[in-house]
Structure 1
Protein backbone atom coordinates (compact mmCIF):
# COMPACT_ATOMS: atom_id res chain seq x y z
CA UNK A 1 0.00 0.00 0.00
CA UNK A 2 1.31 3.45 -0.90
CA UNK A 3 1.59 6.45 1.36
CA UNK A 4 0.32 9.88 0.32
CA UNK A 5 1.71 13.25 1.21
CA UNK A 6 2.19 16.72 -0.12
CA UNK A 7 5.26 18.50 -1.32
CA UNK A 8 5.31 22.26 -0.71
CA UNK A 9 7.76 24.26 -2.78
CA UNK A 10 8.37 27.93 -1.97
CA UNK A 11 9.92 29.52 -5.07
CA UNK A 12 11.91 32.52 -3.85
CA UNK A 13 13.81 33.82 -6.89
CA UNK A 14 16.83 33.59 -9.21
CA UNK A 15 20.15 35.39 -9.45
CA UNK A 16 22.41 35.80 -12.44
CA UNK A 17 20.35 33.78 -14.90
CA UNK A 18 21.26 33.87 -18.57
CA UNK A 19 19.91 36.89 -20.44
CA UNK A 20 18.45 35.88 -23.79
CA UNK A 21 17.26 39.39 -24.68
CA UNK A 22 19.28 41.61 -26.98
CA UNK A 23 18.02 45.08 -26.01
CA UNK A 24 15.14 44.53 -23.58
CA UNK A 25 15.01 43.16 -20.04
CA UNK A 26 13.87 39.60 -19.58
CA UNK A 27 10.38 38.62 -18.33
CA UNK A 28 11.25 35.41 -16.47
CA UNK A 29 8.89 32.73 -15.16
CA UNK A 30 9.39 29.16 -13.96
CA UNK A 31 7.70 25.90 -14.93
CA UNK A 32 7.97 23.42 -12.05
CA UNK A 33 7.41 19.71 -12.72
CA UNK A 34 7.05 16.78 -10.38
CA UNK A 35 6.12 13.59 -12.22
CA UNK A 36 3.08 14.39 -14.36
CA UNK A 37 2.15 17.47 -12.25
CA UNK A 38 3.15 20.93 -13.41
CA UNK A 39 2.85 24.48 -12.04
CA UNK A 40 3.83 27.83 -13.54
CA UNK A 41 5.00 30.86 -11.61
CA UNK A 42 3.85 34.34 -12.48
CA UNK A 43 5.84 36.29 -15.07
CA UNK A 44 8.11 38.94 -13.54
CA UNK A 45 7.91 41.76 -16.07
CA UNK A 46 11.23 43.49 -16.71
CA UNK A 47 13.05 42.05 -13.68
CA UNK A 48 15.87 40.82 -15.85
CA UNK A 49 18.45 38.38 -14.54
CA UNK A 50 17.47 38.58 -10.84
CA UNK A 51 13.70 37.94 -10.59
CA UNK A 52 11.86 37.48 -7.28
CA UNK A 53 8.63 35.47 -7.07
CA UNK A 54 8.01 34.49 -3.43
CA UNK A 55 5.29 32.06 -4.56
CA UNK A 56 4.32 28.68 -3.09
CA UNK A 57 3.39 25.55 -5.03
CA UNK A 58 2.01 22.21 -3.84
CA UNK A 59 2.36 18.78 -5.40
CA UNK A 60 0.74 15.47 -4.40
CA UNK A 61 3.20 12.69 -3.65
CA UNK A 62 2.72 8.91 -3.61
CA UNK A 63 5.37 6.86 -1.84
CA UNK A 64 6.67 4.62 -3.14
CA UNK A 65 6.14 6.38 -6.46
CA UNK A 66 6.26 4.93 -9.92
CA UNK A 67 9.56 4.62 -11.75
CA UNK A 68 8.68 7.33 -14.28
CA UNK A 69 9.44 10.49 -12.29
CA UNK A 70 12.04 9.03 -9.90
CA UNK A 71 11.30 11.72 -7.27
CA UNK A 72 12.66 14.57 -9.38
CA UNK A 73 11.55 18.18 -9.02
CA UNK A 74 12.48 20.03 -12.22
CA UNK A 75 12.58 23.81 -12.61
CA UNK A 76 12.60 25.25 -16.15
CA UNK A 77 13.54 28.95 -16.02
CA UNK A 78 11.90 30.62 -19.01
CA UNK A 79 11.77 34.07 -20.62
CA UNK A 80 8.25 35.07 -21.71
CA UNK A 81 7.79 36.38 -25.25
CA UNK A 82 4.68 37.86 -26.82
CA UNK A 83 5.27 37.21 -30.52
CA UNK A 84 7.70 34.27 -30.49
CA UNK A 85 8.26 31.06 -28.50
CA UNK A 86 9.45 31.49 -24.91
CA UNK A 87 13.19 30.96 -24.31
CA UNK A 88 14.65 28.40 -21.92
CA UNK A 89 17.17 30.25 -19.73
CA UNK A 90 18.27 27.21 -17.74
CA UNK A 91 17.12 24.28 -15.67
CA UNK A 92 17.56 22.85 -12.19
CA UNK A 93 16.76 19.30 -11.08
CA UNK A 94 16.44 18.42 -7.39
CA UNK A 95 16.28 14.73 -6.45
CA UNK A 96 13.86 14.20 -3.55
CA UNK A 97 13.89 10.49 -2.74
CA UNK A 98 15.80 10.99 0.54
CA UNK A 99 13.67 13.99 1.56
CA UNK A 100 10.45 12.06 0.94
CA UNK A 101 11.59 8.82 2.60
CA UNK A 102 12.71 10.77 5.71
CA UNK A 103 9.38 12.63 5.65
CA UNK A 104 7.52 9.31 5.54
CA UNK A 105 9.57 8.11 8.51
CA UNK A 106 9.24 11.30 10.61
CA UNK A 107 5.90 12.70 9.39
CA UNK A 108 7.56 15.79 7.91
CA UNK A 109 10.87 16.75 6.32
CA UNK A 110 11.77 20.36 5.61
CA UNK A 111 14.62 21.96 3.69
CA UNK A 112 14.79 25.70 4.23
CA UNK A 113 15.13 27.82 1.08
CA UNK A 114 18.60 27.51 -0.41
CA UNK A 115 20.39 28.12 -3.70
CA UNK A 116 20.64 25.50 -6.43
CA UNK A 117 22.69 25.78 -9.62
CA UNK A 118 20.86 26.55 -12.86
CA UNK A 119 22.45 24.87 -15.89
CA UNK A 120 22.01 25.06 -19.65
CA UNK A 121 21.41 21.97 -21.80
CA UNK A 122 25.21 21.71 -22.28
CA UNK A 123 25.58 21.67 -18.42
CA UNK A 124 27.24 25.12 -18.29
CA UNK A 125 26.48 27.21 -15.21
CA UNK A 126 23.66 29.73 -15.82
CA UNK A 127 22.96 31.32 -12.42
CA UNK A 128 21.11 30.06 -9.37
CA UNK A 129 17.56 29.53 -8.16
CA UNK A 130 16.45 29.73 -4.53
CA UNK A 131 13.74 27.30 -3.40
CA UNK A 132 12.65 25.46 -0.27
CA UNK A 133 11.07 22.03 0.05
CA UNK A 134 8.74 20.54 2.65
CA UNK A 135 7.27 17.04 2.46
CA UNK A 136 4.38 16.31 4.85
CA UNK A 137 2.41 13.10 5.26
CA UNK A 138 -1.36 13.40 4.84
CA UNK A 139 -3.16 14.03 8.17
CA UNK A 140 -4.81 10.62 8.45
CA UNK A 141 -1.47 8.83 8.25
CA UNK A 142 0.25 11.24 10.64
CA UNK A 143 -2.55 10.90 13.22
CA UNK A 144 -2.51 7.10 12.96
CA UNK A 145 1.26 7.03 13.55
CA UNK A 146 1.15 9.42 16.51
CA UNK A 147 -1.51 7.31 18.25
CA UNK A 148 0.73 4.21 18.14
Structure 2
Protein backbone atom coordinates (compact mmCIF):
# COMPACT_ATOMS: atom_id res chain seq x y z
CA UNK A 1 0.00 0.00 0.00
CA UNK A 2 1.28 3.46 -0.90
CA UNK A 3 0.58 6.25 1.58
CA UNK A 4 1.31 9.85 0.77
CA UNK A 5 0.20 13.42 0.38
CA UNK A 6 -2.19 14.55 -2.33
CA UNK A 7 -1.81 18.26 -2.95
CA UNK A 8 -4.64 20.16 -4.63
CA UNK A 9 -3.83 23.47 -6.33
CA UNK A 10 -7.00 25.56 -6.57
CA UNK A 11 -6.25 28.13 -9.29
CA UNK A 12 -9.42 29.97 -10.35
CA UNK A 13 -12.93 29.73 -11.77
CA UNK A 14 -14.66 31.44 -14.69
CA UNK A 15 -18.21 32.21 -15.78
CA UNK A 16 -19.88 31.12 -12.53
CA UNK A 17 -22.61 33.71 -13.01
CA UNK A 18 -23.84 35.76 -10.07
CA UNK A 19 -26.18 34.58 -7.35
CA UNK A 20 -26.42 37.89 -5.45
CA UNK A 21 -29.05 40.51 -6.18
CA UNK A 22 -26.87 43.31 -4.82
CA UNK A 23 -23.15 43.33 -5.52
CA UNK A 24 -20.90 40.51 -6.61
CA UNK A 25 -20.96 37.03 -5.17
CA UNK A 26 -18.12 36.02 -2.85
CA UNK A 27 -17.26 32.42 -3.82
CA UNK A 28 -15.28 29.86 -1.86
CA UNK A 29 -14.67 26.14 -2.36
CA UNK A 30 -15.14 23.14 -0.07
CA UNK A 31 -12.66 20.49 -1.20
CA UNK A 32 -13.55 16.93 -0.14
CA UNK A 33 -11.58 13.70 -0.41
CA UNK A 34 -12.49 10.45 1.39
CA UNK A 35 -13.99 12.02 4.50
CA UNK A 36 -11.50 14.89 4.65
CA UNK A 37 -12.71 18.43 3.95
CA UNK A 38 -10.82 21.70 3.57
CA UNK A 39 -12.12 25.18 2.77
CA UNK A 40 -10.58 27.83 0.53
CA UNK A 41 -10.52 31.50 1.34
CA UNK A 42 -13.50 33.60 0.25
CA UNK A 43 -12.73 35.47 -3.00
CA UNK A 44 -14.46 38.70 -1.93
CA UNK A 45 -15.58 41.03 -4.69
CA UNK A 46 -14.43 38.67 -7.45
CA UNK A 47 -17.92 37.78 -8.66
CA UNK A 48 -18.20 34.92 -11.15
CA UNK A 49 -14.46 34.91 -11.99
CA UNK A 50 -12.64 34.28 -8.69
CA UNK A 51 -8.91 33.68 -8.31
CA UNK A 52 -7.52 31.68 -5.37
CA UNK A 53 -4.07 30.23 -6.17
CA UNK A 54 -4.18 28.17 -2.95
CA UNK A 55 -2.76 24.73 -2.11
CA UNK A 56 -4.41 22.11 0.09
CA UNK A 57 -2.94 18.84 1.36
CA UNK A 58 -4.82 15.59 1.95
CA UNK A 59 -3.64 12.24 3.27
CA UNK A 60 -4.11 9.64 0.53
CA UNK A 61 -3.40 5.95 0.17
CA UNK A 62 -3.59 3.49 -2.69
CA UNK A 63 -5.07 0.99 -2.65
CA UNK A 64 -7.22 2.16 0.22
CA UNK A 65 -10.61 1.45 1.66
CA UNK A 66 -13.35 1.57 -0.95
CA UNK A 67 -12.87 2.57 -4.55
CA UNK A 68 -14.06 6.16 -4.33
CA UNK A 69 -10.92 7.92 -5.59
CA UNK A 70 -12.36 11.33 -6.37
CA UNK A 71 -12.02 14.91 -5.23
CA UNK A 72 -15.27 16.85 -4.97
CA UNK A 73 -15.12 20.63 -5.27
CA UNK A 74 -18.27 22.34 -3.96
CA UNK A 75 -18.43 26.01 -4.87
CA UNK A 76 -20.51 28.23 -2.61
CA UNK A 77 -21.31 31.94 -2.35
CA UNK A 78 -20.60 33.40 1.10
CA UNK A 79 -23.61 35.36 2.36
CA UNK A 80 -23.62 37.58 5.42
CA UNK A 81 -27.29 37.62 6.39
CA UNK A 82 -28.47 34.25 5.05
CA UNK A 83 -27.14 30.75 4.48
CA UNK A 84 -24.46 30.38 1.82
CA UNK A 85 -25.70 29.65 -1.71
CA UNK A 86 -24.63 26.49 -3.56
CA UNK A 87 -23.22 27.54 -6.95
CA UNK A 88 -22.21 24.14 -8.30
CA UNK A 89 -19.62 21.39 -8.05
CA UNK A 90 -16.93 19.64 -10.02
CA UNK A 91 -15.49 16.14 -9.61
CA UNK A 92 -11.90 15.07 -10.28
CA UNK A 93 -11.16 11.34 -10.54
CA UNK A 94 -7.67 10.64 -9.18
CA UNK A 95 -7.26 6.85 -9.17
CA UNK A 96 -4.89 6.88 -12.18
CA UNK A 97 -2.82 9.62 -10.51
CA UNK A 98 -2.54 7.55 -7.31
CA UNK A 99 -1.52 4.43 -9.27
CA UNK A 100 1.26 6.37 -11.03
CA UNK A 101 2.40 8.00 -7.79
CA UNK A 102 2.44 4.65 -5.98
CA UNK A 103 4.67 3.19 -8.73
CA UNK A 104 6.95 6.17 -9.40
CA UNK A 105 7.00 7.99 -6.06
CA UNK A 106 5.23 11.04 -7.46
CA UNK A 107 2.67 11.95 -10.11
CA UNK A 108 1.18 15.26 -11.24
CA UNK A 109 -1.89 16.46 -13.09
CA UNK A 110 -1.11 20.00 -14.26
CA UNK A 111 -3.93 22.53 -13.76
CA UNK A 112 -6.90 21.64 -15.96
CA UNK A 113 -10.35 23.20 -16.33
CA UNK A 114 -13.30 21.16 -15.03
CA UNK A 115 -16.96 21.88 -15.66
CA UNK A 116 -18.98 23.21 -12.74
CA UNK A 117 -22.39 21.53 -12.60
CA UNK A 118 -25.45 22.89 -10.76
CA UNK A 119 -27.90 20.79 -8.76
CA UNK A 120 -30.18 20.59 -11.82
CA UNK A 121 -27.22 19.13 -13.84
CA UNK A 122 -26.78 22.23 -15.99
CA UNK A 123 -23.38 23.74 -16.74
CA UNK A 124 -22.31 26.80 -14.75
CA UNK A 125 -18.77 27.80 -15.68
CA UNK A 126 -15.49 26.05 -15.00
CA UNK A 127 -12.89 25.70 -12.27
CA UNK A 128 -9.15 25.22 -12.83
CA UNK A 129 -7.36 22.76 -10.53
CA UNK A 130 -4.08 20.82 -10.45
CA UNK A 131 -3.34 17.73 -8.34
CA UNK A 132 -0.07 16.10 -7.22
CA UNK A 133 0.46 12.86 -5.29
CA UNK A 134 3.75 12.16 -3.51
CA UNK A 135 4.35 8.79 -1.87
CA UNK A 136 5.86 8.92 1.61
CA UNK A 137 8.15 6.34 3.20
CA UNK A 138 7.22 5.54 6.79
CA UNK A 139 9.70 6.86 9.38
CA UNK A 140 9.55 3.50 11.16
CA UNK A 141 11.07 1.72 8.17
CA UNK A 142 13.69 4.42 7.65
CA UNK A 143 14.75 4.16 11.31
CA UNK A 144 14.74 0.35 11.23
CA UNK A 145 16.88 0.18 8.09
CA UNK A 146 19.29 2.79 9.49
CA UNK A 147 19.74 0.76 12.69
CA UNK A 148 20.28 -2.45 10.73
CA UNK A 149 22.85 -0.81 8.48
CA UNK A 150 24.70 0.76 11.43
CA UNK A 151 24.75 -2.47 13.43
CA UNK A 152 26.37 -4.42 10.57
CA UNK A 153 29.43 -2.15 10.48
**Is this a same-fold pair by TM over 0.5?**
yes
Structure 1 residue matching 2:99: 3-state secondary structure: helix
Pairs aligned (count): 141
- Per-residue CA deviation, residues 80-99 of structure 1 (Å, 9 max, x unaligned), is 01111100101001111111
Shift of 1:112: 0.8
1:18, 1:139 → 2: CA distance? 44
Helix, strand or coil for the counterpart of 2:102? helix
Given that 1:18 and 1:90 are in contact with CA atoms closer than 8 Å, whether structure 2 keeps it comes out as no
Give the secondary structure class of the aligned counterpart of 2:87.
strand
Q: After superposition, where does 1:1-148 map in structure 2 within 5 Å?
A: 2-67=1-66, 70-140=68-138
What is the Cα deviation at residue 135 of structure 1?
A: 0.6
Q: CA deviation at 1:56?
A: 0.3
- Structure 1 segments of 4 or more deviating over 2 A? none
In the superposition, the TM-score normalised over structure 1's length comes to 0.90
CA contact (8 A) 1:4 1:137 kept: yes
Unaligned stretches of 5+ in structure 1? none
- 1:110 and 1:60 map into 2 onto residues whose CA distance is 16
> Looking at CA atoms only, which structure, 1 or 2, has the larger radius of gyration?
2
- 8 Å contact 2:17–2:47 — kept in the other structure? no
Query: Could you tell me the TM-score, scaled by structure 2's length?
Result: 0.87
Q: Deviations over 1:61-105 (max 9, x none)?
A: 0211211x6011000010001111100101001111111011111
> How far apart, in 2, do the equivalents of 1:27 and 1:127 lie?
15
Shift in Å, 1:18: 3.0
